[in-house]
Every structure is written in C-alpha cells, then in structure tokens.
Amino acid sequence: PVLAGPTVTNVDFPAGRPPAAGYWPERSCILSGRPEQTATYVYESPDKLFAAGIWTCRPGKFRIDFGRDEFIHLLEGVVIVTDAEGTAKTYRAGDAFVTPKGFSGTWDVIEPVKKHFTYYGAVD
C-alpha cells in the first residue's frame, strides 16, 4: 500500500479578513498621535519563523526596532519611515519595501495604514 502524506494547500490572503484586537506601541515609544495598531496573522509556519498577515495603524508617530526581516506592501495610507541616521522616505498605498532585521527609527503614519506583511526569522 502507498501511504499518503499530509495534504499541502495554499492559504488565501484576503484583504478583508477581520483584524485582531487593537494594541499600542509601548508608551515610551509613542512620539505623537494615537497609533493604535492591529495585526491579523493569515499564516504562520509550524516553527514560527515565517509569518504573513495584515497590519493596520492609525495616525501617529512612534519609535520602532525591527527584530526580523520584513517585506511590506502598503494597501492603504501614507507613512514616513525615518532611519537612525535621519534619512526619511515616504511610502504610499501601492508601494512595497523590505525592512531588514536591525532597522531602528521611526514610523510617522500620516494617513491610516493597512499593509500586507511577511517576516522571517527569530527575534533576538
């Protein structure tokens, strides 16, 4: 007899999936506004090293340190990302970019943001 292995199927990535409960950056990291956030995980690998999902954030500015490599595709909104040296880049709906592990800087959400994200790696 031939033994069948587990079935592997694609995981749909619906932009309209209901978000998780809201949360906030640490109070000491908030520089202005009210950057309440949500994260909905659409997929997470069994070893927890890879994940994909939908993240939202309301307007506000906050400090952030990325503990993993992350691919970001903005679906809605405008954000100004500034690195530790002060170099700023504005991203708008439709833009995509990678933030490498170790990035330290600020996110200034000008218009409410919704993004697809994928990340890889363990947080140190």
Q: Given this model, what pLDDT does residue 17 score? A: 66
Cα separation of 12 and 4, whole Å?
24
Identify the residue with better confidence: 10 or 61. Answer: 61
| CA-based nearest residue to 59, from 85, 45, 80, 40 | 80
Q: Region 89-94: what's the mean pLDDT? A: 98
Domains and CATH numbers, the chain: 27-120 (2.60.120.10)
pLDDT for residue 21: 79
- What span, in angstroms and rounded, lies between the C-alpha atoms of 45 and 93? 27
The residue among 81 and 5 whose pLDDT is bigger is: 81
**Helix and strand element counts for the chain (H, E):** 0, 8
Q: Is 34 a residue whose pLDDT tops 90?
A: yes
65 closest CA partner among 112, 108, 101:
101
- What is the dihedral sign for C-alpha 65, 71, 74, 80? positive
Do the Cβ atoms of 72 and 98 come closer than 8 Å? yes
Question: φ and ψ at 28, to 5 degrees?
Answer: -70, -15
pTM over 0.85: yes
Q: What's the token pair of residue 68?
A: 């993993």
Percentage of residues of the chain with pLDDT beyond 70: 92
